[in-house]
Amino acid sequence: MKKSLIALAVSATFAVPVFAQSSVTLYGVIDEGFNYTNNVGGKHDYELQSGYAQGSRWGLKGAEDIGGGTKVIFQLENGFNLNNGRLGQGGLLFGRQAYVGVSNATFGTVTLGRQYDSVVDYLAQTTANGNWAGYLFSHPFDNDNTDNSFRVNNTVKYASPDFAGLQFGGTYSFSNSTGFANNRQFSLGAQYANGGLLVAAAYLNADNPGQSSGGAITTTDANFVTERLRIFGGGINYTFGPATVGFVYTNTNIKNPSANTGYLSSTETIEPVTGALAGGKLSTLKYQNFEINGKYQITPAFFVGAQYVYTLENYDATTGSVKPKIHSVGLMADYNVSKRTDFYLQGAYQKVAGGQTGSSLDQAYVPGAADLSSNSKQLVMRVAIRHKF
């Protein structure tokens, strides 16, 4: 008996504990380049800018297998400006993404935290800016958020498994205040992929975005500070051989906007949308975006891409309504010198035509330019290097 007890004690001392299988990955993107803008308040502008084809970032993501086909997952992702070392997304430590959740191969994934909405998750990848081109190719002021101008806080997200190419999901973002509907958000989206075909659609509703610091969409996130933001749209991409072509339609309805944050001035203050039209009050701002895009993979290391966007803007005020039209064109060439490093060249041009709103919206602004043009036209050129790790 004594020998048995001694043997048991020794085996317990040297036993190797059994842990669930887990993994953690450190990753990132550094995107840095030189921008030229032909008209910034009537002057040329030359600058170094970070994070255009992709936002510069680093992050941690991981998973722990807890059995039964279920994993606990997390992701923490930081955005930053390479030129000055500042944090992105309004100075947040993990401003791009910060969530934890549970994933099951059969039932799908539920995550909690700061995340992307369904427009970004499902529809954006059918656009040029949300897929291969980035910031400069965004629709005016990124009015439909297909380039991730805002993330959604306090968010519960569900993403389905892949059902023979069909995936769907949705988000609900709490206001985190006694005013339950004050600065909340919800969205739904779906996509279907089969061979070279990709079809996607999404819808988003946000109440009072940008009007509180603790709600779903804060002032430092919101593309428009407004009473209500609604976005819906659909897109289709088709790949045949080395070529991909796509068409996207999005519709954005902005009720009683008080400011837009489609760009930041050199003082990093919110630039206001002028609310007057011949003395009247701006009640609704609407955008309809029609995009045609194409990409051709000339070699495995080199591709060229092009995009055209026709935007109908509806500016409704108490004294009347005007309907400007915005033409946007983008061209890009990208060459990979290795699996993780590429050089790219981009050009984006915008022209505002039609009725005059009497506000800053009459001036051209290519998303990512240093500031508004002094007239209805603006051109931005960029040459850059991108490294992934």
The superfamily in CATH containing domain 24-388 is Porin (2.40.160.10)
Please report the pLDDT score of residue 262 as a whole number.
Answer: 54
Nearest to residue 378, comparing CAs of 25, 36, 1, 24?
36
Cα distances from 216 to residues 219, 258, 268, in angstroms, run: 10, 18, 22
pTM: 0.89
User: How far is 299 from 244, CA to CA, in rounded Å?
Assistant: 14
Ramachandran angles phi, psi of 132, nearest 5°: -115, -10
Q: What is the DSSP string of 207-218?
A: ESTTS-SSSSS-
Please report the pLDDT score of residue 350 as a whole number.
Answer: 98
Ramachandran angles phi, psi of 165, nearest 5°: 100, -15
Helix (H/G/I), strand (E/B), else coil: 355? coil
On whether the CB atoms of residues 126 and 198 are closer than 8 A, the answer is: yes
Q: Where are the domains of the chain?
A: 24-388
- Both tokens assigned to 295: 């990409």
Mean pLDDT of successive 10-residue segments in the chain (389 residues)? 44 45 93 96 95 96 95 97 92 95 97 98 97 96 94 98 97 93 95 97 96 90 91 98 98 88 43 42 89 98 98 86 95 98 98 86 91 94 98
Ramachandran angles phi, psi of 121, nearest 5°: -65, -35
Tens-place pLDDT, residues 78-97: 999 999 999 999 899 999 99
On whether the CB atoms of residues 77 and 41 are closer than 8 A, the answer is: no
Ramachandran angles phi, psi of 96, nearest 5°: -80, -50
Q: Which residues contact 371 (CB under 8 A, 6 or more apart)?
A: 40, 41, 45, 263, 265, 266, 365
> Tell me, what amino acid is at 373?
S
Nearest to residue 141, comparing CAs of 359, 331, 385, 388?
359
What is the distance in angstroms between the CA of the first residue and the CA of the last residue of the chain?
59
